[in-house]
């Protein structure tokens, strides 16, 4: 942004303004990441629906701190907070990959968390859906921080409702298909959201593309259901043989075979557990974090993104915080790719952070 719009000193100013009060020379947005407000990247917090509609941000971060639907290790309810905290940046960061300061081009806010309470699965999904729908109907792209993967059913359903009559396709990165009928009789577990989305009609099976599947689940009966309903699947073996970029290019074409918009779902366990150990169902042999981040830039830079989630970050299993850092970068790559698209199309910058909240 232009220097004359600055009211405070920035963390990387080479020639900072003179005569500033030492107590107030830095805005909270520009103070170190470990202090001040706890929103994503210390962006403005805008949790009220009316305020969201009045501001009409480009992107809104939504927390879904819910893990009551897991089948193995719990802990993803702490994911949203960990992802928000997983940064060392202060002020407006610069993407070296895309050559852009995303928060100078996109108005991004943190819409807070859906008001989830524990031990109430039905209510948890209902309030997540309502929160995401509120954001999407305000004209913002919701980026949802999970939470276990069951939250994709209410989140993507809300986005599909908000963008109708336009059709929504999905690209889903995961070690597991999450298309079972039930998990020990539970229809809304983290192993079932993709089947619920397709059965509900929110997304058609042929426009549902999965990338990175590997290991020993799902069983043949689930794979047969997926084949009957036209789901497109790219196993990890294909990525090993053809390369991630070629596979992702195919996934984009398949997901856009009819729909105008894309919902992107990233289960952090698509990344090899050596790089992302903090998750509920780690599966060896996964993608590299750099491959996933490149894939996000590739997808978001190509499609019209309607919504996104990053799920299954369980920080208790990762003392080094690298899983939350990977999830944080997934979000940043999407925001940066959206900003680069606006710039390259000759759009007008809509800065967030310091320039919009005083």
DSSP string, 174-221: -SS----S-BTTBTTSTTSHHHHHHHHTSS-GGGEEEEEE-SS-S-HH
Whole-number pLDDT of residue 23: 85
Q: At what angle do helices 121-137 and 152-163 cross, to 10 degrees?
A: 30
106-138 pLDDT tens trace: 999 999 999 999 999 999 999 999 999 999 999
Position 332 scores a pLDDT of 98
Among the listed residues 60, 82, 230, the one whose alpha carbon sits nearest the alpha carbon of residue 134: 60
Buried-exposed string 270-295: b where 16+ CB fall within 10 A, e elsewhere: bbbbebbbbbbbbbeebbebebbbbb
Mean pLDDT by 10 residues, the chain (358 residues): 58 80 86 91 96 97 98 97 95 96 98 97 98 98 98 98 98 98 97 98 97 97 98 98 98 96 98 98 98 98 98 97 98 98 98 59
Tokens standing for residue 281: 């169902």
Question: What is the crossing angle of helices 152-163 and 193-200, to 10°?
Answer: 30
Handedness of CA 243, 246, 251, 254 (dihedral sign): negative
The C-alpha atoms of residue 279 and residue 256 are separated, in whole angstroms, by 30
The pair of structure tokens assigned to 231 is 């789901």
Could you tell me which CATH number the domain at 3-10+21-355 has?
A: 3.40.800.10
pTM equals 0.95
The per-residue pLDDT for 7 is 64
């Amino acid at each position: 942004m232009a220097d004359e719009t600055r009211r405070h000193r920035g963390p990387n100013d080479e020639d900072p303004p003179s005569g500033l009060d030492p107590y107030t020379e830095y805005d909270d947005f520009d103070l170190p990441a470990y202090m001040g407000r706890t929103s994503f990247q210390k962006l403005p917090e805008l949790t009220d629906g009316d305020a969201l509609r009045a501001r009409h941000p480009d992107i809104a971060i939504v927390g879904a701190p819910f893990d009551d639907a897991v089948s193995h290790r719990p802990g993803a309810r702490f994911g949203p907070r960990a992802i928000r905290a997983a940064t060392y940046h202060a002020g407006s960061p610069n993407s070296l990959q895309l050559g852009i300061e995303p928060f100078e081009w996109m108005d991004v806010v943190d819409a807070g968390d859906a008001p989830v309470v524990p031990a109430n699965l039905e209510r948890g999904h209902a309030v997540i859906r309502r929160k995401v729908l509120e954001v999407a109907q305000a004209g913002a792209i919701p980026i949802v921080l999970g939470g276990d993967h069951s939250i994709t059913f209410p989140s993507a359903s809300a986005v599909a409702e908000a963008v109708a009559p336009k059709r929504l396709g999905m690209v889903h990165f995961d070690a597991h298909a999450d298309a079972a009928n039930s998990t020990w009789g539970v229809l809304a577990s983290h192993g079932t959201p993709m089947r619920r989305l397709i059965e509900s009609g929110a997304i058609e099976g042929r426009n549902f593309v999965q990338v990175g599947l590997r290991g020993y689940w799902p069983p043949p009966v689930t794979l047969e259901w997926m084949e009957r309903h036209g789901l497109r699947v790219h196993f990890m073996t294909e990525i090993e043989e053809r390369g991630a970029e070629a596979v992702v290019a195919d996934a984009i074409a398949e997901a856009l075979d009819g729909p105008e918009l894309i919902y992107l779902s990233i289960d952090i366990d698509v990344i090899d557990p050596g790089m992302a150990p903090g998750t509920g169902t780690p599966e060896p042999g996964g993608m590299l974090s750099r491959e996933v981040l490149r894939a996000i830039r590739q997808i978001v830079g190509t499609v019209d993104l309607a919504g996104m989630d990053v799920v299954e970050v369980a920080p208790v299993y990762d003392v080094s915080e690298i899983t939350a850092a990977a999830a944080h970068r997934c979000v940043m790559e999407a925001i940066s790719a959206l900003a680069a698209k606006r710039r390259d199309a000759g759009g007008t910058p809509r800065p967030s952070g310091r320039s919009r909240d005083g």
